[in-house]
Amino acid sequence: MLVPLVSIISTACLGCCSFMVYALATKPDVRVVKSRGPAFEDVGPLETRKLINLNKEKYQFFPEIQALRKEIGSYKS
């Protein structure tokens, strides 16, 4: 009666640990060290990092926004 309970709990723990390792190894937005800043800052505007992308539109640069960013400067120190 105790063996099925132990086997089910150990299988669930093994699955949880394997998913954590998988997420750390393959997902760019999962980080252990949080001192590098948000993960979305590492992704370029034209780069897709999704497995399935339902919205096929590409990002379009707006010259007004780019000029404003150059005028204001970077918010990072």
pLDDT band at residue 3 under the 50/70/90 scheme: very high
Contact between 31 and 39 under an 8 Å Cβ cutoff? The reply is yes
pLDDT band at residue 27 under the 50/70/90 scheme: confident
Q: What would the mean pLDDT of 50-73 be, rounded to a whole number?
A: 76
Mean pLDDT of the chain: 79
Structure confidence at residue 7 (pLDDT): 96
Angle, CA of 33, 50 and 16, to the nearest 5° = 55
Q: State yes or no: pLDDT of 8 exceeds 90.
A: yes
- Cα 54 to the center of its chain, rounded Å: 17
DSSP state of 45: T
**pTM for this model (two decimals):** 0.48
Secondary structure (H, E, C), 1-33: CHHHHHHHHHHHHHHHHHHHHHHHHHCCCCCCC
